[in-house]
Structure 1
Amino acid sequence: MTGSRASRPRLAVVTGASSGIGAATAQRLAREGFEVVLGARRAERIEQLASQIGARSHPLDVTDDASVEAFCATLDRCDVLVNNAGGAIGLEPVEEADLADWQQMFDTNLLGVARMTRALLPALVASGDGHVVVVGSIAAHEPYPGGAGYNAAKFGVRAVVGVLRQELLGRPVRVTEIDPGMVETEFSLVRFRGDAERASRVYEGMTPLTPEDVADCIAFAVTRPSHVNIDQMIVLARDQAGARTVHRRG
């Protein structure tokens, strides 16, 4: 690492930054004065966003060891890592489970967090004020019918975050878990394999969170004084009181 830490902005890496919460977080952190590096599989999208907000971007597939290594090799430092890449596939019961879908969800949501955190932890420690943020889900707290694969992946993420927080105690790295409820993004479109009509019904009659709402929470956590750690934040829309408890009008 070269140069004075005090003379340059903190550097934040955001995974899954091509859309939704990741893109909103990258925009928000750039406005907060962070130097932002975007990572996602859809290179054209992150290149366009990076040019708009004055950031950098590099292709990143968190399910691939070589991709993670290549991405991290472009960084000379890291102060904040926002592990946002993830998602759900399908809503089938366990007796009809497609284990390839489960594997994909585990590889993206859980092992992706492990890959990125392991790769960047030395830089985060060396920064003297590192911060790991993991975007989890209300699904990490409440299992629900049809959600077993995604629930299991996000419950696993929650366990990893809790362990990491304990393992890093005494070292200059904070660990934060942000667990949103229903957020209107491409999440449901992906879960239902491109069925836009079915995806739109998820939000009928209620007002979900926006990606910007979650980005606000992430920005709040990473801009607290260095002695303050926001361990966990569950963020739900007013119309949602649990994973499957939703008030719908009309």
Structure 2
Amino acid sequence: MAIPTQTPRQRTAVVTGASSGIGAATARDLARAGFAVVLTARRTDRLEALAKEIQADGGTAHPYTLDVTDRDAVAALAAGLEACDVLVNVAGGAFGVEEVASADPADWRHMFEVNVVGALQMTQALLPKLVAGGDGVVVVLTSTASFTCYEGGGGYSAAKHGAHVLAQTLRLEAVGQPLRVIEIAPGMVHTEEFSLNRYRGNADKADAVYAGVPGPLVAEDVAEVVTWAVTRPPHVNVDLLVVRPLAQAAQHKVHRTS
């Protein structure tokens, strides 16, 4: 399936994990900034609804159902694109809060496959088009968990550290090429699904993560940071940008009003 041709004045951005949360917010914000946005995720109905929303707002969006862990499907997406100027690797997530002694290796494997291998496969597949455009940008969305461990978060921290290493290594290997590699590491972000998935659908436990926190980040906050970073002049690379809510000084230091 070929992705419709971009207009001469539009740059194309591919966003993974675009069916909800930070991915969906990033797609909206990039479209408002003038990008033709290719929305990728596994849930077709959500992608189609988001595409219609963006189009109704005057933007350009194309839904494309994709599992980033499926290498053949990723290759097919890349083959169908005439050009790609920006790749935003958002697809990821945390699954489970068990400690190392009792964690299910399948959860760790799943987190690594989505957060690291998925980003690797997307980057590999689109790299030729990103470089050919003369000002390609790869964004890897990691987390403050990528450099700070905490109890019950071993698998997620390990996966996000892997994504952090992917970004750092690619930047070294791509030096001299027209490719910027940007890592965005958010702290506490209140989205509709992240903690719910982590606590396996337990809404009470998911809500408790943000209880009493005045002003946790929301998806739109991170989306605006991504758009700002990718729209810097071509000679400006934002290597690593950490963004937290004011109430969070560190992974274990969070102000709560109750």
**TM-score tier (shorter):** over 0.9
1:37 shift after superposition: 0.4
Distance 1:20 1:137 in 2: 14
Instruction: Say whether 1:190 aligns with 2:197.
Output: yes
Worse-superposed segment, 125-134 or 47-56:
47-56
1:40 is aligned with what amino acid?
Answer: A
Deviations 1:180-210 (A, max 9, x none): 0111111000001111111011000002101
1:27 is aligned with what amino acid?
Answer: R
Q: Which residue of 198, 216, 228 maps to 1:220?
A: 228
Q: Which residue of 149, 154, 158 maps to 1:152?
A: 158
Distance 2:25 2:15 in 1: 10
Flag as ranges the 4+ runs of structure 1 deviating above 3 A: none
1:155 shift after superposition: 0.7
Distance 1:244 1:126 in 2: 43
Instruction: Say whether 1:136 aligns with 2:137.
Output: no
Q: After superposition, where does 1:106-117 map in structure 2 within 5 Å?
A: 106-117=112-123
Distance 1:174 1:27 in 2: 22
Deviations 1:10-60 (A, max 9, x none): 100000000000000000000000010000001110111011112001001
Partner of 1:44: 45
Partner of 2:128: 122
1:120 shift after superposition: 0.3
Aligned length, in residue pairs: 247
2:102 is aligned with what amino acid?
Answer: E
Distance 1:200 1:73 in 2: 41
Distance 1:68 1:243 in 2: 34
Distance 2:42 2:112 in 1: 17
1:74 shift after superposition: 2.3
Partner of 2:58: none
Q: After superposition, where does 1:65-84 map in structure 2 within 5 Å?
A: 65-84=71-90
Secondary structure of the residue that 1:115 maps to in structure 2?
helix
1:70 shift after superposition: 2.4
Partner of 2:3: none
Distance 1:128 1:174 in 2: 10
Q: Which residue of 229, 234, 239 maps to 1:231?
A: 239
Partner of 1:172: 178
Instruction: Say whether 1:29 aligns with 2:30.
Output: yes
Distance 1:99 1:80 in 2: 33
Deviations 1:109-157 (A, max 9, x none): 0001100000000000000000000110000010111111111111111
Any stretches of 5+ residues in structure 1 without a counterpart?
A: none
Distance 1:194 1:108 in 2: 19
Native 8 Å contact 1:59 1:71 kept in 2: no
Distance 1:6 1:66 in 2: 28
Q: TM-score when scaled to structure 2?
A: 0.93
Deviations 1:57-90 (A, max 9, x none): 1001011112212222321110000000000001
1:6 shift after superposition: 9.1
